[in-house]
Chain A
């Protein structure tokens, strides 16, 4: 007992003030990329050839956050002449098209479906399904339950049974071997339900795009919320859930 009290005093209080007050991540964290529209074509071509994810649209000069794994290969070309990653961790979007970006994303809070906020804004239960994930997305979703992030502050919790859930949070590129289990879990969730694709794999196949062993998630289910990253930083997920379900004021 003495040791428990002593440790409690030593450990102190660690829950972050976000979103009540702003929080910032420092470099070298790679968040929302800024794409230089006036960059010369040769440099753009070099970035395209270095990108392992085929995430750069050369003609439109867009970067696809759904494919990007934020490895920084493009930023290393000519000191970030074409692409520079900012430290902005707010990357989520409610439509796939929004993820093709030049460096500004639409305001998620005002783009989310208003009836979701009414239904789930004060109490949201999610069932997580890992469908071929590498366990990085899963691990950084799990940490939302640690004291630092404390997701339950917002009435959001991950639950064991799909019957208790309002939505499904999917990670991984969806392997052939997980297709049945994923769809069965989805079916077991009562309507109305939300589908969240978390991480480059769930959104686009991620590092495994093109593998014959995977089935693109968007060919199986309609997705309501896209959370990019490899894996998404816990703050990216936290801000996405908060803006999409809880935040009723405008502005990112």
Chain B
């Protein structure tokens, strides 16, 4: 840990202040850190003057650290010693053709050619997923394989699921994503600045607010802009409305997946109420267009403030009633309880984040651990230890109550003043700088990391969606479960395909 620099989210630092370690020291420092309740926030490569380097941001408790090292064309894999690095190393191999020697399962992440025009790490031609990769196969007389997707039965994003089953029992689930890959990280460093906030909002539309906050905080740090208090409050309200809409909608979808129609219909309708509040605040049901570097675009006037408070007063008790209906129905509990268990040990081993991690007993929430000091949140985290579908649903039900209280606390009593008049993003970015921003999006820890070169140009834009950590959690939850419980488990995580695929 002595080799890593303590940092804070949302604070600009000089890139030259981040210790540049030799590979062996970097590796030793990270492995020692990750061993005991240390987690990876960012672990990515960037290229400058034909040199590829690796930058890591790691967290433990309420502390955040950064370190970097030049990357040779191959390096000894960290995944061999610690699972938390597995996907990050695959991503670096895919983007920069730098190979982690001894990686136990090196395969494509998003299925695109590397950015350096080097020989492909996976010997793929990039016609169609999964290229020449042979899916993991279980063999035996009674074994059969089920392939689902990329186009699924409902109105959802594409992804491929490959089940290895014995009878109806799933021995192994392999999840292949990449279908949604739009090349966002490279777009962010190449397009006009006026396009960047619109792209950030569309990384994952259901997480438009959290991504906007991460993007804007990073730009604000690099431009040295102070955000007015009122704007911070409106951002916080929007973030909780986003959480409320998604938590509510997903509880409805979970009810639908176990054929409990009343709760499915009510939650579905109430989700819309939260989206309509975002519309009222921003002009868009997902809050797109609301948050821009420097503040927020629309003010929360007295009428809007009253409308949001009134709706929360109306819908809060209804949510509690429907929650009681859902969680006291034995037909529902029979399906939820004990299904798709991720133990605390497993969650910790793979670095699970968000409500899924809290349902498995991990105590991490960016709003509390790394949030600003003037937080609107009560110090009351929701933790469960069962790690099953029930726990994941229960945590979200409790978080709905917390979010409602939070919105009320911000808006009640006095009008929101000084939201600031929004000005177009015209200042230059500080040269030679680094900033990492983190937000507790509704799915969990979302992080953007920006590097600028000596001329203040964006050199690297790295986005890590919480789903990047959590897809493996879903795969492991399915082991030894009935394949018919897959939709239920999938919905209990409800991970982002496009946020992962970028």
Contact = CB atoms under 8 A, between A and B. Distances in A.
Given A145-B268, A185-B151, 14 more contacts: A3-B325, A28-B279, A30-B289, A138-B155, A139-B205, A143-B272, A146-B269, A147-B265, A148-B272, A201-B202, A207-B202, A210-B187, A211-B184, A213-B183
B313 to A, nearest CB: 15
B269 A14 contact: yes
Interface string B148-192: 001101111110000000000000000000111111100100011
19 contacts: A28-B279, A29-B279, A29-B283, A132-B181, A135-B205, A135-B206, A143-B271, A148-B272, A158-B155, A175-B182, A177-B112, A177-B178, A178-B150, A178-B179, A181-B151, A207-B198, A208-B187, A210-B191, A231-B205
B282 interface: yes
B272 A146 contact: yes
B155 A71 contact: no
A214 B202 CA distance: 15
Most chain A CB atoms below 10 A, which of B182, B204, B208:
B182
Interface of B: 110-112, 126, 128-129, 150-151, 153-158, 178-184, 187, 191-192, 194-195, 197-199, 201-206, 208, 249, 262-263, 265-266, 268-269, 271-272, 275, 279-280, 282-286, 288-289, 297-298, 318, 321-322, 324-325, 328-329, 422, 424, 496-498, 501
Interface string A37-80: 00000000000011111000000000000000111110010000
B198 A136 contact: no
Contacts of A176: 112, 126, 181
Contacts of B197: 52
A53 B201 CA distance: 14
Given A10-B321, A52-B195, A213 B206 contact: no
A98 to B, nearest CB: 23
Interface stretch (A105-113, A114-122, A123-131, A241-249): A123-131
**Majority DSSP secondary structure for residues of B touching A:** loop
Nearest to B317: A10
A135 B204 contact: yes
A155 B303 CA distance: 39
B346 to A, nearest CB: 27
Contacts of A69: 198, 288-289
A142 to B, nearest CB: 5
B239 to A, nearest CB: 16
B266 A11 contact: yes
A212 B180 contact: no
Interface residues of A, number: 69
Contacts of A138: 155-157
Contacts of A134: 202-206, 208, 498
A206 B202 contact: yes
A65 to B, nearest CB: 15
A220 interface: no
A73 B289 CA distance: 8
B187 A136 contact: no
A72 B283 CA distance: 9
Nearest to A4: B262
A28 B183 contact: no
A172 interface: yes
A153 to B, nearest CB: 15
Contact of A213 (B182, B266, B286, B498): B182
Given A7-B321, A160-B153, A178 B180 contact: yes
Question: Top 8 closest A-B pairs, CB basis?
Answer: A136-B205, A213-B183, A134-B205, A28-B283, A160-B153, A146-B268, A71-B289, A134-B202
Contact of A128 (B155, B249, B283): B155
B297 A76 contact: yes
A32 interface: no
Given A76-B297, A175-B182, A181-B150, A3 B328 contact: yes
